[in-house]
Amino acid sequence: MKFSNQLFIAFLLGIFALACSGDTAGNNRSTASSPSSSSALPTPKVAGPPVFDDQVAVFETDYGKFTIALYPDVAPRHVENFKKLVNEKFYDGTGFHRVIADNIIQGGDPQTRGGGNRAAWGQGMPNQPKVPAEFSTRPFVRATVGAARATDPNSASSQFFICLRENSQWNGQYTVFGEVIQGLNNVQTISRAPTRPGSETVVELPMVKRAYLEKRQQ
């Protein structure tokens, strides 16, 4: 039974970051067992010590706030897109629709705005601009912020996920574009939100009250 439980958890982790915006429901609900099922992945850029953007993104949620420092050195286009969305108030009123307790949370889907239609959570909108993959050797560790996508490596748009532990199976296969530098305890609380039986979909959406940029403290 323990071995079966481990397989089930691995299955959930494998499909978690695949559910992102802008593709059909079939792609977003991929049953791939791991990110390595994607084809034609670009060669990851070798990453040195992080070089941070001069602004950070602050998210105020029902469960408190957290702050994301951004990596323009390895993911300049993702950082630019993320900052643009924050400035446009895109994330205000959206929710974190997927969680795995003490492991990961995912949000940023416009279909969750104001509660939205539960059946559409995670599917995004077909007209959302896509950001080309910017894979790097920067690893997925605790506090890492990554861009969610479907099977197509270049399908990332607005959805993102935050790791609460190491997820090395995603290294070089998803874009790392930042890290949580404050409020990770609040991210962890969000990850523990009740989910529907046998699912990582939340019962009630932890909502983003507002998101904004501010100058990074040196």
User: What pLDDT, in 10s, does the model give residues 29-60?
Assistant: 332 223 334 457 899 999 999 999 999 999 99
Report the pLDDT value the prediction gives residue 20, as an integer from 0 to 100.
43
Lowest mean pLDDT among 79-83, 124-128, 189-193, 211-215: 124-128
**% residues pLDDT > 90 (the chain):** 79
Report the pLDDT value the prediction gives residue 137, as an integer from 0 to 100.
98
Report the pLDDT value the prediction gives residue 74, as an integer from 0 to 100.
98
Q: What value does the mean pLDDT take over residues 129-151?
A: 97
Does the structure show a pLDDT above 70 at 176? Answer: yes
Q: Spell out the CATH class of 2-29+48-215.
A: mainly beta
Does the structure show a pLDDT above 50 at 7? Answer: no
Does the structure show a pLDDT above 70 at 23? Answer: no
The Cα 216–Cα 161 span in angstroms is 21
Average pLDDT value over all residues in the chain? 87
Does the structure show a pLDDT above 70 at 18? Answer: no
Neighbouring residues of 218: CB distance < 8 A, sequence distance ≥ 6: none
Instruction: Write the burial class of residue 210 (CB in 10 Å: 0-12 exposed, 13-18 middle, 19+ buried).
Output: middle
Does the structure show a pLDDT above 60 at 208? Answer: yes
In order of 13, 83, 98, 101, 128, the CA distances from 8 in angstroms are: 9, 35, 16, 14, 32
Instruction: Write the burial class of residue 172 (CB in 10 Å: 0-12 exposed, 13-18 middle, 19+ buried).
Output: buried
Report the pLDDT value the prediction gives residue 87, as an integer from 0 to 100.
98
Does the structure show a pLDDT above 60 at 159? Answer: yes
Q: In which band, very low, low, confident or very high, does the pLDDT at 28 lie, cut at 50, 70 and 90?
A: very low
Instruction: Write the burial class of residue 1 (CB in 10 Å: 0-12 exposed, 13-18 middle, 19+ buried).
Output: exposed
Length of the chain equals 218
Report the pLDDT value the prediction gives residue 39, as an integer from 0 to 100.
55
Measure CA 127 to chain center. Answer: 19
Does the structure show a pLDDT above 90 at 147? Answer: yes
Does the structure show a pLDDT above 60 at 8? Answer: no
